[in-house]
Structure 1
């Protein structure tokens, strides 16, 4: 007999099932699987209602939503946009897409979200706006950020890619700034594999983004409903950022499951908190009283004397997925930045992500915590704790 292998516990796993399959089958039957069709329009209406915004534009991913937002806001070469540093660098990429310069703002050491004081210190004559990030599911300090951008006449974009279901002072992440961008990537709270959306209170901005998302000519589905032979004209350069109706149908189902799936993630987070509360070699996630976390990821901050690479190696050897957390964006070679964001850099060195998704069982959570605790005490310099 062969050696029994330990069941793997993945870092992430989507929660997709029969309801989503049935929704896809209905799209197949409709004959319109492409973008901006009936399912896409229905999803946009659902999103606008859920978030209380004027309009929602469904797109292929959150990076596309960020790009479209900056185009619609008129950002161009010579402008500077302040971006949260401790994040997947999609916001800074979007700034570069339009030829502008990203300026990296350091973050709070407890939440990892952008520090409004750091933003204020970076505002200069070329600054046109700010992109805040709800870091790994934690909303940023939007009352302070909205007040700051209003005072200086700057735009504010909320990158809520990781934060579906989270709240800030009773308001949902995704509705905390005049423009917000969502992600439906496979590791998010709800998913269609890939996907995104732009949410806004400005109808003109939404119309601009929707047009640019379809090569600049609008919905082919809509044009096919017109009697005659309409031939659209290309009056500007657009992009193919449409979300397929297949993905939109999946997301319509997933939207009805946000609370269910988030409740399951909350239980996982609470269980980790109980199991690791007395472990001096890690700092648990901090959630301020005025907001709630979407728990896209569960990040621990390791004691400086812990060997993170060795911890990751040991976890994976036991079939447990893990990750480094996220990036200190200013350190990425592509930006060639001379800035320094010390808090972000420290978090990037010491954070580790352990399994977090709605499919985790209590037994799996306990196995992760036990394996992690053993690894911590095996890979820490003497005298650290």
Structure 2
């Protein structure tokens, strides 16, 4: 089987290679160096905050967020269920219990009413996920958090460049976390960032992300021989300067990359909007959707697995959307969250990246139409 249309594809080229060469020439390839500090300043403009920390991945950023916000064993953290399990895992890593709640059926983010109903005396915080990049309902979530004395995290893994009511993703909660994985809107293959309006939280996270001491670059140029002292156990969660150099180019590309993805999303919507057998994603007018993925819901009368195989057989890369986390055995969740469970069973991600041309999107939409209207994919 030949994949003609890849599910995801990075947009990289000579500029990224030149940036890597500059890092090689500098002699500083390891983590938390000059390129990381430079990228942090540049990404701050995207996130709408002054305080940014680069990390090895978004999972590391989520874990650091839990720790610096004070999550303890025995605590409960409410989290939107429709998400890759790194979100729930980060709560387990802090020794706490993730309490999954259902999501909105239209934009798939955490349902504020479900959050309110799940609060107990052990609840310490809320993690809202921005599904495939579109921000959750942060005004409502902030009001709930403030009313109950809880902290709020934005899992913005897919949200570089997104906005909510004119405010940038990364500035919508006490802490936000981003991913620079290969399928994200901007990428170094791997990597992440933690952002916050609060300098104290990011300073603490910076210490923890380097085993519990200040990064080595803070001692560069010292006239003495400073020897750090470890008073807190931390981790090796640093981004390398090679990756940061790539990200510096990628963040400059971000407006063009988002515009290309938006054109592809609009083409899909126009080409498939009349098809009753699939449900297209909703983009709310008060938010900027960065279209990290384009996910469609197949009608219950169709076999989602057969749809995926049909697409792949015709050269269209695809996958399921993301996880109904409560259904994963690691969490031991009892009961069901019907909206998230339904999305998990019906969603199919089709190609979305900035290299798609309008003709590509038209051709892919035609193949989707051919597959879902075929008798071969009926249950």
Alignment of 1:61 with 2:57, yes or no, is yes
Give the structure 1 partner of residue 304 of structure 2.
308
Alignment of 1:289 with 2:285, yes or no, is yes
Give the structure 1 partner of residue 15 of structure 2.
19
CA distance in 2, matches of 1:91, 1:191: 19
CA distance in 1, matches of 2:10, 2:257: 10
Asked if the contact 2:48/2:170 (under 8 Å) is kept, the reply is: no
Give the structure 1 partner of residue 232 of structure 2.
236
Give the structure 1 partner of residue 168 of structure 2.
172
From 177, 182, 188, the equivalent of 1:181 is 177
Asked if the contact 1:59/1:196 (under 8 Å) is kept, the reply is: yes
Asked if the contact 1:104/1:339 (under 8 Å) is kept, the reply is: no
Give secondary structure in 2 for the equivalent of 1:296. coil
Does 45-54 or 119-128 show the bigger shift?
45-54
Please list the CA deviations of residues 48-102 of structure 1 after superposition, one character each: whole Å capped at 9, or x if unmatched: 2333323101110010000001100110101000001001111110000011000
Give the structure 2 partner of residue 366 of structure 1.
362
Please list the CA deviations of residues 256-315 of structure 1 after superposition, one character each: whole Å capped at 9, or x if unmatched: 111100000000000001110111100111112211211000011111011111111111
Alignment of 1:152 with 2:148, yes or no, is yes
CA distance in 2, matches of 1:380, 1:49: 46
Give secondary structure in 2 for the equivalent of 1:257. helix
Asked if the contact 1:157/1:179 (under 8 Å) is kept, the reply is: yes
Alignment of 1:323 with 2:319, yes or no, is yes
CA distance in 2, matches of 1:75, 1:366: 48
CA distance in 2, matches of 1:329, 1:6: 32
Consecutive unaligned residues of structure 1, counting only runs of 5 or more, are: none
Give the structure 1 partner of residue 372 of structure 2.
376
Does 36-45 or 73-82 show the bigger shift?
36-45
Give secondary structure in 2 for the equivalent of 1:136. helix
Give secondary structure in 1 for the equivalent of 2:133. coil
Superposed displacement of residue 252, structure 1 = 1.0
Task: Please provide the CA RMSD for this pair.
Answer: 1.3
Give the structure 2 partner of residue 202 of structure 1.
198
Where has structure 1 moved over 6 Å in runs of 4 or more? none
CA distance in 1, matches of 2:370, 2:315: 15
Give the structure 2 partner of residue 347 of structure 1.
343
Alignment of 1:46 with 2:6, yes or no, is no
CA distance in 2, matches of 1:162, 1:288: 16
Superposed displacement of residue 18, structure 1 = 1.1
Give secondary structure in 2 for the equivalent of 1:256. helix
Give the structure 2 partner of residue 99 of structure 1.
95
CA distance in 2, matches of 1:168, 1:210: 27
Q: 1:339 to 1:210 in 2, by over 3 A?
A: farther
Give the structure 1 partner of residue 68 of structure 2.
72
Give secondary structure in 2 for the equivalent of 1:107. coil
Asked if the contact 1:138/1:294 (under 8 Å) is kept, the reply is: yes
Give secondary structure in 1 for the equivalent of 2:53. strand
Superposed displacement of residue 218, structure 1 = 1.6
Superposed displacement of residue 7, structure 1 = 6.0
Superposed displacement of residue 103, structure 1 = 0.1
TM-score, normalised to structure 1, is 0.96
Consecutive unaligned residues of structure 2, counting only runs of 5 or more, are: none
Alignment of 1:248 with 2:277, yes or no, is no
Give the structure 2 partner of residue 266 of structure 1.
262
TM-score, normalised to structure 2, is 0.97
Give secondary structure in 1 for the equivalent of 2:373. helix
Superposed displacement of residue 362, structure 1 = 2.2
Give the structure 2 partner of residue 112 of structure 1.
108
Give secondary structure in 1 for the equivalent of 2:63. helix
CA distance in 1, matches of 2:116, 2:366: 43
Give secondary structure in 2 for the equivalent of 1:13. coil
Superposed displacement of residue 221, structure 1 = 2.5
From 126, 132, 136, the equivalent of 1:136 is 132
Number of residue pairs aligned between Structure 1 and Structure 2: 378
